Protein backbone atom coordinates (compact mmCIF):
# COMPACT_ATOMS: atom_id res chain seq x y z
CA UNK A 1 0.00 0.00 0.00
CA UNK A 2 1.42 3.34 -1.01
CA UNK A 3 0.91 6.60 0.80
CA UNK A 4 -1.91 7.73 -1.48
CA UNK A 5 -3.89 4.51 -1.01
CA UNK A 6 -3.30 4.69 2.71
CA UNK A 7 -4.65 8.24 3.01
CA UNK A 8 -7.60 7.30 0.82
CA UNK A 9 -8.48 4.40 3.07
CA UNK A 10 -8.17 6.55 6.17
CA UNK A 11 -10.42 9.19 4.64
CA UNK A 12 -13.06 6.60 3.70
CA UNK A 13 -13.06 4.95 7.10
CA UNK A 14 -13.29 8.17 9.02
CA UNK A 15 -16.01 9.48 6.73
CA UNK A 16 -17.91 6.29 7.33
CA UNK A 17 -17.53 6.58 11.09
CA UNK A 18 -18.61 10.21 11.16
CA UNK A 19 -21.57 9.75 8.86
CA UNK A 20 -23.22 6.80 10.61
CA UNK A 21 -26.63 7.72 11.94
CA UNK A 22 -26.35 9.66 15.17
CA UNK A 23 -27.94 8.32 18.39
CA UNK A 24 -29.62 10.57 20.86
CA UNK A 25 -30.68 9.36 24.24
CA UNK A 26 -33.80 11.39 24.73
CA UNK A 27 -34.48 10.97 28.37
CA UNK A 28 -37.97 10.90 29.71
CA UNK A 29 -37.18 13.99 31.74
CA UNK A 30 -37.48 15.99 28.53
CA UNK A 31 -40.59 14.25 27.34
CA UNK A 32 -42.45 14.41 30.61
CA UNK A 33 -44.19 17.70 29.88
CA UNK A 34 -45.98 16.27 26.87
CA UNK A 35 -47.64 13.40 28.72
CA UNK A 36 -51.31 13.65 29.73
CA UNK A 37 -52.13 13.99 33.41
CA UNK A 38 -51.78 10.62 35.10
CA UNK A 39 -54.83 9.21 36.82
CA UNK A 40 -55.03 7.65 40.26
CA UNK A 41 -58.24 5.93 41.32
CA UNK A 42 -59.04 5.82 45.03
CA UNK A 43 -61.79 3.77 46.56
CA UNK A 44 -63.00 3.02 50.04
CA UNK A 45 -65.02 0.04 51.13
CA UNK A 46 -64.97 -3.00 53.35
CA UNK A 47 -65.00 -5.63 50.61
CA UNK A 48 -61.47 -5.74 49.16
CA UNK A 49 -62.48 -7.86 46.17
CA UNK A 50 -65.19 -5.43 45.06
CA UNK A 51 -62.92 -2.50 45.77
CA UNK A 52 -60.11 -3.76 43.57
CA UNK A 53 -62.59 -4.06 40.72
CA UNK A 54 -63.88 -0.55 41.37
CA UNK A 55 -60.50 1.16 41.39
CA UNK A 56 -59.52 -0.54 38.15
CA UNK A 57 -62.76 0.47 36.41
CA UNK A 58 -61.64 4.02 35.45
CA UNK A 59 -58.80 2.51 33.44
CA UNK A 60 -61.07 0.07 31.65
CA UNK A 61 -60.83 -2.74 34.18
CA UNK A 62 -58.20 -5.44 34.34
CA UNK A 63 -58.68 -6.07 30.60
CA UNK A 64 -56.80 -2.85 29.94
CA UNK A 65 -53.66 -4.38 31.41
CA UNK A 66 -53.93 -8.15 31.04
CA UNK A 67 -54.35 -9.53 27.54
CA UNK A 68 -55.57 -13.08 26.94
CA UNK A 69 -52.74 -15.58 27.10
CA UNK A 70 -50.49 -13.30 29.13
CA UNK A 71 -48.11 -14.56 31.74
CA UNK A 72 -48.88 -12.22 34.60
CA UNK A 73 -46.82 -11.45 37.66
CA UNK A 74 -48.72 -10.20 40.68
CA UNK A 75 -46.14 -8.85 43.09
CA UNK A 76 -47.45 -8.31 46.61
CA UNK A 77 -45.34 -7.51 49.63
CA UNK A 78 -44.83 -10.80 51.51
CA UNK A 79 -41.67 -9.60 53.15
CA UNK A 80 -42.44 -10.34 56.77
CA UNK A 81 -43.59 -13.12 59.02
CA UNK A 82 -46.66 -11.18 60.13
CA UNK A 83 -50.37 -11.84 60.21
CA UNK A 84 -52.63 -9.93 57.78
CA UNK A 85 -54.04 -7.61 60.44
CA UNK A 86 -50.53 -6.51 61.42
CA UNK A 87 -50.31 -4.65 58.10
CA UNK A 88 -46.74 -5.58 57.22
CA UNK A 89 -47.68 -7.59 54.14
CA UNK A 90 -50.23 -7.02 51.40
CA UNK A 91 -53.76 -7.98 52.39
CA UNK A 92 -54.31 -11.55 51.12
CA UNK A 93 -57.86 -10.69 50.05
CA UNK A 94 -56.52 -7.93 47.82
CA UNK A 95 -53.96 -10.30 46.31
CA UNK A 96 -56.63 -12.90 45.68
CA UNK A 97 -58.90 -10.31 44.04
CA UNK A 98 -56.12 -9.10 41.74
CA UNK A 99 -55.19 -12.67 40.82
CA UNK A 100 -58.81 -13.60 40.11
CA UNK A 101 -59.32 -10.53 37.93
CA UNK A 102 -56.14 -11.28 36.01
CA UNK A 103 -57.33 -14.84 35.39
CA UNK A 104 -60.76 -13.57 34.38
CA UNK A 105 -59.09 -11.21 31.91
CA UNK A 106 -57.55 -14.22 30.23
CA UNK A 107 -54.16 -14.59 31.89
CA UNK A 108 -52.57 -17.91 31.00
CA UNK A 109 -50.68 -18.15 34.24
CA UNK A 110 -50.32 -15.89 37.25
CA UNK A 111 -47.14 -15.87 39.32
CA UNK A 112 -47.19 -14.54 42.85
CA UNK A 113 -43.90 -14.25 44.71
CA UNK A 114 -41.70 -12.06 46.83
CA UNK A 115 -38.10 -12.25 47.97
CA UNK A 116 -38.88 -12.22 51.67
CA UNK A 117 -36.93 -10.76 54.58
CA UNK A 118 -37.98 -13.35 57.16
CA UNK A 119 -38.00 -17.07 56.44
CA UNK A 120 -39.96 -17.48 53.22
CA UNK A 121 -42.21 -20.36 54.25
CA UNK A 122 -43.26 -18.54 57.40
CA UNK A 123 -43.89 -15.31 55.45
CA UNK A 124 -45.93 -16.98 52.72
CA UNK A 125 -48.10 -18.82 55.26
CA UNK A 126 -48.36 -16.27 58.03
CA UNK A 127 -49.23 -13.44 55.62
CA UNK A 128 -52.19 -15.55 54.52
CA UNK A 129 -51.20 -15.16 50.89
CA UNK A 130 -50.16 -18.72 50.13
CA UNK A 131 -53.19 -20.25 51.89
CA UNK A 132 -55.63 -17.88 50.14
CA UNK A 133 -54.29 -18.83 46.69
CA UNK A 134 -54.29 -22.54 47.40
CA UNK A 135 -56.33 -24.50 44.91
CA UNK A 136 -56.58 -21.70 42.35
CA UNK A 137 -55.88 -22.98 38.87
CA UNK A 138 -53.02 -21.53 36.83
CA UNK A 139 -51.74 -19.66 39.85
CA UNK A 140 -48.25 -20.31 41.12
CA UNK A 141 -47.29 -19.02 44.52
CA UNK A 142 -43.78 -20.46 44.64
CA UNK A 143 -40.88 -19.55 46.85
CA UNK A 144 -38.06 -17.65 45.24
CA UNK A 145 -35.73 -19.93 43.27
CA UNK A 146 -32.26 -18.44 43.74
CA UNK A 147 -31.17 -19.73 40.34
CA UNK A 148 -33.54 -17.37 38.60
CA UNK A 149 -31.74 -14.18 39.55
CA UNK A 150 -30.05 -12.73 36.48
CA UNK A 151 -27.75 -9.71 36.31
CA UNK A 152 -29.32 -6.76 34.55
CA UNK A 153 -27.52 -3.65 33.37
CA UNK A 154 -29.42 -0.62 34.56
CA UNK A 155 -28.81 1.65 31.58
CA UNK A 156 -30.55 4.64 33.07
CA UNK A 157 -29.24 4.10 36.57
CA UNK A 158 -27.68 7.09 38.26
CA UNK A 159 -26.52 5.37 41.43
CA UNK A 160 -26.53 1.67 40.60
CA UNK A 161 -25.74 0.29 37.20
CA UNK A 162 -26.11 -3.45 37.59
CA UNK A 163 -28.19 -5.64 39.85
CA UNK A 164 -29.69 -9.10 40.04
CA UNK A 165 -33.35 -9.28 39.01
CA UNK A 166 -35.77 -12.18 39.17
CA UNK A 167 -36.30 -13.72 35.78
CA UNK A 168 -40.03 -14.30 36.20
CA UNK A 169 -40.48 -10.58 36.84
CA UNK A 170 -38.38 -9.58 33.84
CA UNK A 171 -40.14 -12.00 31.50
CA UNK A 172 -43.69 -11.21 32.56
CA UNK A 173 -46.08 -10.00 29.87
CA UNK A 174 -47.85 -7.97 32.49
CA UNK A 175 -46.41 -6.99 35.85
CA UNK A 176 -48.91 -5.92 38.47
CA UNK A 177 -47.47 -4.20 41.51
CA UNK A 178 -49.54 -4.78 44.65
CA UNK A 179 -47.70 -3.08 47.51
CA UNK A 180 -48.96 -2.38 50.99
CA UNK A 181 -48.55 1.18 52.19
CA UNK A 182 -46.58 1.40 55.43
CA UNK A 183 -44.04 3.24 57.48
CA UNK A 184 -40.32 2.71 57.00
CA UNK A 185 -37.79 4.54 59.09
CA UNK A 186 -35.21 5.14 56.38
CA UNK A 187 -37.38 5.37 53.25
CA UNK A 188 -40.08 7.18 55.32
CA UNK A 189 -42.75 5.12 53.59
CA UNK A 190 -42.65 1.93 51.59
CA UNK A 191 -45.27 1.76 48.87
CA UNK A 192 -45.08 0.96 45.17
CA UNK A 193 -41.55 2.00 44.31
CA UNK A 194 -40.01 0.18 47.23
CA UNK A 195 -41.98 -2.97 46.50
CA UNK A 196 -39.42 -3.66 43.76
CA UNK A 197 -37.06 -4.81 46.50
CA UNK A 198 -38.91 -8.12 46.35
CA UNK A 199 -37.86 -8.98 42.79
CA UNK A 200 -34.17 -8.29 43.21
CA UNK A 201 -31.48 -10.50 44.66
CA UNK A 202 -27.96 -9.88 45.82
CA UNK A 203 -27.04 -7.98 48.97
CA UNK A 204 -30.20 -5.97 49.24
CA UNK A 205 -28.99 -4.17 52.34
CA UNK A 206 -26.71 -2.07 50.17
CA UNK A 207 -29.73 -0.46 48.52
CA UNK A 208 -30.25 1.41 51.79
CA UNK A 209 -27.07 3.42 51.43
CA UNK A 210 -28.74 5.78 48.96
CA UNK A 211 -32.23 4.48 49.16
CA UNK A 212 -34.15 7.09 47.18
CA UNK A 213 -32.02 7.11 44.05
CA UNK A 214 -31.32 3.38 44.22
CA UNK A 215 -35.02 2.54 44.28
CA UNK A 216 -35.65 4.90 41.39
CA UNK A 217 -32.84 3.26 39.42
CA UNK A 218 -34.26 -0.22 40.06
CA UNK A 219 -37.67 1.00 38.95
CA UNK A 220 -36.31 1.88 35.52
CA UNK A 221 -35.89 -1.83 34.87
CA UNK A 222 -39.32 -3.12 35.77
CA UNK A 223 -42.22 -0.82 34.98
CA UNK A 224 -45.48 -2.15 36.40
CA UNK A 225 -48.48 -2.14 34.07
CA UNK A 226 -50.51 -1.03 37.03
CA UNK A 227 -49.83 -0.41 40.70
CA UNK A 228 -52.58 -1.31 43.12
CA UNK A 229 -51.78 0.09 46.57
CA UNK A 230 -53.26 -1.82 49.46
CA UNK A 231 -54.19 0.71 52.12
CA UNK A 232 -56.97 -1.37 53.61
CA UNK A 233 -54.93 -0.96 56.77
CA UNK A 234 -51.71 0.95 57.06
CA UNK A 235 -48.76 0.75 59.43
CA UNK A 236 -48.05 4.14 60.95
CA UNK A 237 -45.03 3.34 63.14
CA UNK A 238 -42.40 0.67 63.73
CA UNK A 239 -42.34 -0.21 60.06
CA UNK A 240 -41.65 -1.95 57.86
CA UNK A 241 -42.69 -4.93 59.92
CA UNK A 242 -44.63 -3.49 62.84
CA UNK A 243 -46.06 -6.25 64.95
CA UNK A 244 -48.36 -4.31 67.21
CA UNK A 245 -51.94 -3.50 66.33
CA UNK A 246 -51.45 -0.15 68.10
CA UNK A 247 -49.45 0.96 65.09
CA UNK A 248 -52.09 -0.10 62.56
CA UNK A 249 -54.79 2.17 61.20
CA UNK A 250 -57.69 0.70 59.25
CA UNK A 251 -58.51 2.81 56.19
CA UNK A 252 -60.33 0.33 53.94
CA UNK A 253 -58.79 2.15 51.01
CA UNK A 254 -57.27 0.91 47.77
CA UNK A 255 -55.56 3.01 45.11
CA UNK A 256 -54.72 2.12 41.54
CA UNK A 257 -52.72 3.80 38.85
CA UNK A 258 -50.65 2.83 35.83
CA UNK A 259 -48.20 5.45 37.11
CA UNK A 260 -46.34 4.03 40.09
CA UNK A 261 -44.98 7.41 41.17
CA UNK A 262 -48.43 9.00 41.10
CA UNK A 263 -49.85 6.05 43.07
CA UNK A 264 -47.13 6.48 45.68
CA UNK A 265 -47.63 10.23 45.77
CA UNK A 266 -51.34 9.96 46.46
CA UNK A 267 -50.85 7.12 48.95
CA UNK A 268 -48.35 9.28 50.81
CA UNK A 269 -51.12 11.73 51.65
CA UNK A 270 -52.88 8.98 53.60
CA UNK A 271 -50.06 9.27 56.13
CA UNK A 272 -50.33 13.06 56.25
CA UNK A 273 -47.03 13.42 54.40
CA UNK A 274 -46.11 15.24 51.23
CA UNK A 275 -44.86 13.21 48.23
CA UNK A 276 -41.62 15.19 48.14
CA UNK A 277 -40.79 14.00 51.65
CA UNK A 278 -40.31 10.46 50.33
CA UNK A 279 -36.81 10.14 48.83
CA UNK A 280 -37.78 7.40 46.38
CA UNK A 281 -40.78 9.32 45.05
CA UNK A 282 -38.65 12.41 44.61
CA UNK A 283 -35.87 10.56 42.80
CA UNK A 284 -38.27 8.66 40.56
CA UNK A 285 -40.16 11.79 39.59
CA UNK A 286 -36.88 13.54 38.80
CA UNK A 287 -35.99 10.67 36.48
CA UNK A 288 -39.31 11.02 34.70
CA UNK A 289 -40.67 7.70 35.93
CA UNK A 290 -43.97 9.33 36.83
CA UNK A 291 -45.71 12.29 38.31
CA UNK A 292 -45.50 13.24 41.96
CA UNK A 293 -47.02 16.72 41.80
CA UNK A 294 -50.46 16.24 43.33
CA UNK A 295 -51.78 19.19 41.36
CA UNK A 296 -50.88 17.40 38.15
CA UNK A 297 -52.43 14.08 39.14
CA UNK A 298 -56.02 13.43 38.26
CA UNK A 299 -57.51 11.81 41.37
CA UNK A 300 -60.63 9.82 40.71
CA UNK A 301 -62.80 8.84 43.68
CA UNK A 302 -64.73 5.70 42.97
Interaction site with another protein (CB under 8 A): 81, 117-119, 121-122, 125-126, 130, 147, 184-186, 203, 205-206, 208-211, 238, 240-244, 246-247
**Least Cβ distance, residue 55 to another protein (angstroms):** 29
The nearer residue to another protein, 46 or 185, going by C-beta atoms, is 185
- Shorter beta-carbon distance to another protein: residue 122 or 296: 122
CB contact at 8 A, 247 and 82: no
The answer to whether 222 and 251 are in contact (CB under 8 A) is: no
Phi, psi (deg, nearest 5) at residue 168: -60, -35
- Of 210 and 299, nearer to another protein (C-beta) is 210
Kindly tell me which of 87 and 228 has the beta carbon lying closer to another protein.
Answer: 87
C-beta of 270: minimal distance to another protein in Å?
21
Minimum CB separation of residue 238 from another protein in Å reads 6
3-state secondary structure 279-293: HHHHHHHHCCCCCCC
CB-based contacts of 94: which residues, under 8 Å, 6+ apart? 48, 52, 76, 178, 228, 230, 232, 254
Phi, psi of 23 (to 5 degrees): -115, 130
Name every residue whose Cβ is closer than 8 Å to that of residue 284 and which is 6 or more positions away in sequence: 193, 215, 216, 219, 260, 261, 264, 290, 292
What distance in Å separates the CA atoms of residue 36 and residue 38, rounded to the nearest whole number?
6
Q: Which 3 state secondary structure label does DSSP give 11? A: helix
| 39/204 with CB nearer another protein | 204
Of 227, 243, 233, give the one whose Cα is nearest residue 271: 233
The least CB distance from residue 119 to another protein, in Å, is 5
CB of 80 to another protein, least distance (A): 9
Residue 252 beta carbon to another protein: minimum distance, rounded to whole angstroms: 23
CB nearer to another protein: pick between 210 and 220: 210
Amino acid sequence: MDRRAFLEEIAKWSAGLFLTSPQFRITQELLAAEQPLPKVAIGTGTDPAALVKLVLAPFGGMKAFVKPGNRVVVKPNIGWDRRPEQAADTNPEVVKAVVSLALAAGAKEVFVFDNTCNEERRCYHQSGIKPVLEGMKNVRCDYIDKRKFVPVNIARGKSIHKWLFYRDALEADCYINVPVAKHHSLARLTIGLKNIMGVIGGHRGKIHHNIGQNLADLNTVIRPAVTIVDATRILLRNGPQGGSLRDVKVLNTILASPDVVAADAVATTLFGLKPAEIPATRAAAAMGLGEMDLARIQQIRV
